[in-house]
Amino acid sequence: GIQVEQSPPDLILQEGANSTLRCNFSDSVNNLQWFHQNPWGQLINLFYIPSGTKQNGRLSATTVATERYSLLYISSSQTTDSGVYFCAVDMDSSYKLIFGSGTRLLVRP
């Protein structure tokens, strides 16, 4: 099956710093999404981005489908950005989302 790997696994930032999270996938995909899981376990959909670049406030994401990777940029990080960031892909008409290993982010005040 498809492999979805994320890096780094853990990241500690000082408030105000910028960061880049990476998601590599081993096969062509129909869909790629980025999620933030807050400390209570709720998954928040950040981006639906099978290709191209999107921005939403301090967050932006870029997917280069031909090279099978996606990047999530967090600028001017805040303590509320802490949590786990997952990318997830689906590769066929089943719509099953396969999650990456996640990046655990801690933003310190």
Partner 1 sequence: GAVVSQHPSRVICKSGTSVKIECRSLDFQATTMFWYRQFPKQSLMLMATSNEGSKATYEQGVEKDKFLINHASLTLSTLTVTSAHPEDSSFYICSARDRGGGARGGYTFGSGTRLTVV
Q: Which helix (H) or strand (E) holds 59?
A: strand 59-64
Neighbour-count burial for 1-19, b at 16+ CB within 10 Å, e otherwise:
eeebebeeeebebeeeeeb
Mark residue 108 as left, alpha or beta (left: phi above 0; alpha: psi -120 to 50; beta: remaining).
beta
Give the amino acid at 8: P
Span near partner 1 by CB under 8 A; candidates 11-19, 20-28, 62-70, 100-108 = 100-108
Using the rule CB under 8 A, which residue among 17, 60, 65, 99 binds partner 1? Answer: 99
Binding residues with partner 1: total (CB under 8 A): 21
Span near partner 1 by CB under 8 A; candidates 16-24, 65-73, 74-82, 99-107 = 99-107
Contact call for residue 22 and partner 1 (CB under 8 A): no
Using the rule CB under 8 A, which residue among 58, 78, 96, 108 binds partner 1? Answer: 96
Separation of alpha carbons 47 and 100, rounded Å: 15
Residues from 51 through 90 that contact partner 1 (CB under 8 A): 86, 88
**Which residues in this chain contact partner 1 in the complex, by CB under 8 A?**
31, 33, 35, 40-43, 45, 48, 86, 88, 94-102, 104
